[in-house]
Structure 1
């Protein structure tokens, strides 16, 4: 039997934010079984906690319904909060395929915990299929160049003109599904307040309620283009159109096009517990 928690991430309200299923000890599961369990939960991501291979406290593997991701934002933050609920922690170091990710926690006496994580600093380049992406979204980008950022997953930051245009997006998923290894992170805002939506048939996610791994790249993008200051925290609201409102904060420190650190933070709340009864499934073994 494999125990799990369901955590709603980037919210302090149950049944809002972006849910993640966290298998608290996945020792003995094969990669194929992890992928099958990610299909079974039918959430945007499912995580699997394992003993660390290095000096971190835990190792975590992250699966969408279609693939494994080397890093993702809301699943890692939700996993960290789940583990902090099991044993009171002030800090946690999590081993991912993109390196170790550090978390610090803030408790407010309620069910929710706020976690801050240092993300991998992304790389970026102009996106080579911007015209096809615009066709699939049904709108032209509000900036002359569309950039793809990678910090594990590849997020294409697609600027739109106003909140009405953002909320009115009805993407053609047949077109978006032809674009491999990417999510379309559509955004609009000014100063420290931003709104976003994310679509990614390539990652098995029609629309995502909160994309923490894109929040850090957005802070980097805005600082690079002088739309916010380096080291200034921004707030990102996502999931509004899905009825799953989420709030993330992100900060990027550096100068010009050089970035030294990226931090993303938000609250999360445990909303469910259970167990998968899969002992003895053929093909099991060490992950």
Structure 2
């Protein structure tokens, strides 16, 4: 019989709407603070809790690894409702830090200040930018290209629906995503992914999911519309995907499409009635900084239930 902790604990949690100014818009995220538990919760329990919340992602705020630098404020672990652990600093991190700062669980730095977070084994900065927060991502790594016909078929589109000025390829700034440009917003609306085919295409390119983007004809590019599909992680569609916004910004800059501002606004979530706006720019080291605001819609306590020890 597995050994269980006793008694049952209660841990604070919140539902945070990310990349939004008002509740019930943006991308909902469940956040759970488990730093006060005597032992770190096992992965099996975190997966069960993520399934209970049934959000696109649930982020657990845990103690930093012992090897982390002394200035690491917290470590984040994020799981989809299907139980897949995901990485990268997007809505999973932004919503967690918004709640930690708003509730005083971590002291919010003054404007222009920063804290250090740990996601997986990697450390990155969280910036305070006026009334918004910025997640600093890693330098872009440009991975494999995808066969356009296979991509079109997987998205339920025709070849003429693709914009091949941007070759479909995986780009990683903490999490790899397959970027696919489509001809216009009408083509974006028509996307009807065939899940198994989409998973195959993404995995072939070392990508977690597929970011379909309507870039338009205006140059330099300042605003785009996007949809994100990740059925391989149990996420059919996502209302706002910060971990894909950074790769897109880096890719457009590499193609010379951003101009000198190196800034991009991404509209996402309209197809799900969860409108979101993601702002992203490249810092002076060309690292993407994904920026946004949040709204806390629920604040409460979660009963842990009997929790087995160990991973």
1:142 equivalent in alignment to 2:163: yes
Counterpart among 74, 78, 83 of residue 58 in structure 1: 74
Q: Give the TM-score of the pair, scaled to structure 2.
A: 0.83
Alpha-carbon distance change, 275 to 8 in structure 1, aligned in 2, over 3 angstroms: same
Which residue in 2 is equivalent to 1:39?
51
Instruction: Give the alignment's Cα RMSD to 1 decimal.
Output: 2.0
1:77 equivalent in alignment to 2:94: yes
Offset, 1:230: 5.3
Q: Is contact 2:17-2:297 (8 Å) kept?
A: yes
Which residue in 2 is equivalent to 1:6?
15
Distance 1:118 1:152 in 2: 10
Q: Is contact 1:188-1:194 (8 Å) kept?
A: yes
Which residue in 1 is equivalent to 2:31?
22
Offset, 1:98: 5.4
Distance 2:265 2:135 in 1: 15
3-state secondary structure, aligned to 1:57: strand
Distance 1:129 1:62 in 2: 31
Offset, 1:246: 0.5
Offset, 1:134: 1.7
Counterpart among 157, 169, 174 of residue 152 in structure 1: 174
Distance 2:246 2:297 in 1: 26
3-state secondary structure, aligned to 1:260: coil
Of the structure 1 ranges 202-211 and 165-174, higher mean CA displacement relative to structure 2 is found in 165-174
Of the structure 1 ranges 115-124 and 228-237, higher mean CA displacement relative to structure 2 is found in 228-237
3-state secondary structure, aligned to 1:272: strand
Number of aligned residue pairs: 276
Larger CA Rg, structure 1 vs 2 = 2
1:212 equivalent in alignment to 2:212: no
Unpaired segments ≥5 residues, structure 1: 108-112
Q: Is contact 1:10-1:210 (8 Å) kept?
A: yes
Distance 2:153 2:190 in 1: 15
Which residue in 1 is equivalent to 2:263?
233
More strand by share: 1
